[in-house]
Amino acid sequence: MSIQSIMIVDDDKLSREFLIEAVTQLGYKAIEAKSGAEALDKARQSTPDLMITDLRMPGMDGIELVRSMRSQHPDLPAVLLTAQGSLESAVQALRSGAADFLLKPCTPDALEVVIERIDRTTRLMRENQYLRSEIVGESSPSIIGESPLMAETLRNAARISRSKGTVLITGESGTGKEKIAQYIHQNSPRANGPFIRVNCAALSEQLLESELFGHERGAFTGAHKTREGRFELADGGTLLLDEIGEISPSLQAKLLRVLEEEEFERVGGTATLKVDVRVIATTNRDLHAEVKAGRFREDLYYRLHVLPIQLRPLRERVEDIQPLALHFAQHYAKNAGLETPTFTQTAMECLQAWHWPGNVRELENVIQRAVVMLRHSNIDLADLSFGPAAVGEESQTGTVPTSSSMPTENLGPALANRTIEEIERVAILATLSSTRGNKTEAARRLGVTARTLSNKMKLWRSTGLVA
């Protein structure tokens, strides 16, 4: 986040008042301290973003103050003021841990240059720390898809990217909501700013509040130092709130305030921080239904629902399955140092016939397994292994809640010269797909008992033909 508050430490009243007036006119909040001891005490109450201190002061001098301050607030940058323009003074200041130094008397212009330089450096350090702590997949925001539905989605995303309005991306799990969020950021005027993400479903309420808004040192057990939140890290860029429907009512209220006023306080802090962040939220829930059920704030819903995008499930855009499968095959073959395999017609038609309850993420997993376990130069039907939920593991209602896919008879022309065992497996998998995972109905259509069907599935799992 950009520098907002600056602590001025100087025992000389005239010098101190000049510096306070200068930083105030530059648009920063000034925190006044007459001595090193007073500066340390005030920093414990509210940590500033930058400290400017005189070198020569009675009692605790500037160098001792910088060292003491860094032991308590390691990330706080400091600037030392010295009336002695020697190289020795500059070296001494930098060795003490100061980010820069200024000669007294300094001009407002010189002060502004130093503050802006430290601001840029601090931003880059914080963004690098964040990136090192994240496990990020492919950074490319390119979207693979040839269906009319995906083309329309990308056209809408391109239009949306030009504004700063809040975006709500809805869709089933695994449809690629985060990719669309990246696409919007990379095509927006904020493309050169940070793209920060947080998974709202993966953290407890207390941890999520700290992740979003940061915390002051001592705010809770384990808060050994001041920490910036994701809103601060995303200042000037985009913040992705993944699975926004999982946050608690109390956090919903705090999030609404940030969206409306662009300001907040860190956990345990009193200083109000302002940010310039474009928020993109994603969810696989029906937030309108959550509002009616009283689990999601109506005012927050409408504040998020400014620019909505709905991602359709993969089963509704069959045209995207082949290009996605080819892309994943090339990607995982390259990672493994292998030649990119091709797909037999039977394998591709089986992929296109499946109803993909896990959407693009499930397709990616199926192709990755096929590439890693590949026995020949191409991916055939025998190399495809579908997950348990995709091959008919009943839920409590006895069915997998997905739409039916292509009818079984569409696979017929591709089954010539196949073994009986392969044809049987294709028929069973495709029938399970068309019955949305209902084993009883699939067994009836195939003319076998449900026990026989279950035994077949157990055998294929034990031999690795399905997961």
- Binned at pLDDT 50, 70 and 90, residue 294 comes out as very high
Q: Is the pLDDT of residue 263 over 60?
A: yes
- Give the span between the Cα atoms of 427 and 412, in whole angstroms: 9
Q: What is the per-residue pLDDT for 105? A: 81
What CA–CA distance (Å, rounded) separates 172 from 340?
30
Residue range 360-379: average pLDDT?
89
Bridge partners (DSSP) listed for residue 309? 169
Tens digits of residue pLDDT in 154-208? 999 999 999 999 999 999 999 999 999 999 999 999 998 899 999 998 888 888 9
Query: Is 70 exceeded by the pLDDT of residue 89?
Result: no
Q: Is the pLDDT of residue 361 over 60?
A: yes
Q: List all residues 6 or more positions away from 113 whose beta carbon is below 8 Å from its beta carbon.
A: none
Mean pLDDT over 41-46 rounds to 86
Instruction: Please tell me the predicted confidence (pLDDT) of residue 404.
Output: 35
pLDDT tens-digit readout, 52-74: 998 888 889 888 898 898 888 88
Exposure string over 146-160, b if 16+ CB within 10 A, otherwise e: ebebbeebbebbeeb
The pLDDT of residue 135: 38
Query: Over 50: is that where the pLDDT of 137 sits?
Result: no
CA distance 395 to 326: 31
CA 438 centroid distance within chain: 36
Name residues whose C-beta falls within 8 Å of residue 415's C-beta, 6 or more positions apart in sequence: 346, 422, 423, 426
Q: Is the pLDDT of residue 315 over 60?
A: yes
The stretch 87-116 carries a mean pLDDT of 81
Find the mean pLDDT for residues 373-391: 73
Q: Quick one: what percent of the chain has pLDDT higher than 90?
A: 39
Q: What confidence tier does 396 reach under pLDDT thresholds 50, 70, 90? A: very low
Interval 388-412 mean pLDDT: 37
d(CA 428, CA 218): 60
pLDDT at 459 over 50: yes
The confidence score (pLDDT) of residue 131 equals 54
CA-atom Rg of the chain in angstroms: 30
Q: What is the mean pLDDT of residues 310-319?
A: 92
Percent of the chain with pLDDT over 70: 85
Q: How far apart are CA 462 and CA 439, in angstroms?
A: 19
Whether residue 228 is predicted with pLDDT greater than 60 in this model: the reply is yes
402/161: higher pLDDT? 161
Does the pLDDT at position 432 exceed 80?
A: no
User: Residue 394: pLDDT above 50?
Assistant: no
Task: Say yes or no to pLDDT of 460 above 50.
Answer: yes
**Which conformational region is residue 57 in: left (phi greater than 0), alpha (psi within -120 to 50 degrees), or beta?**
beta
The residue ranking higher by pLDDT, 194 or 140, is: 194
Q: What is the pLDDT of residue 409?
A: 42
Q: Would you tell me the crossing angle of helices 450-462 and 439-446 to the nearest 10 degrees?
A: 110
Q: What does the alpha-carbon distance between residue 441 and residue 276 come to, in Å, rounded to a whole number? A: 55
- Cα–Cα–Cα angle for 219, 225, 227, nearest 5°? 85
pLDDT at position 417? 57
pLDDT, position 434: 66
Mean pLDDT of the chain: 82
Structural domains in the chain plus CATH codes:
5-121 (3.40.50.2300), 148-312 (3.40.50.300), 316-462 (1.10.8.60)
**DSSP for 269-281?**
--S-EE---EEEE
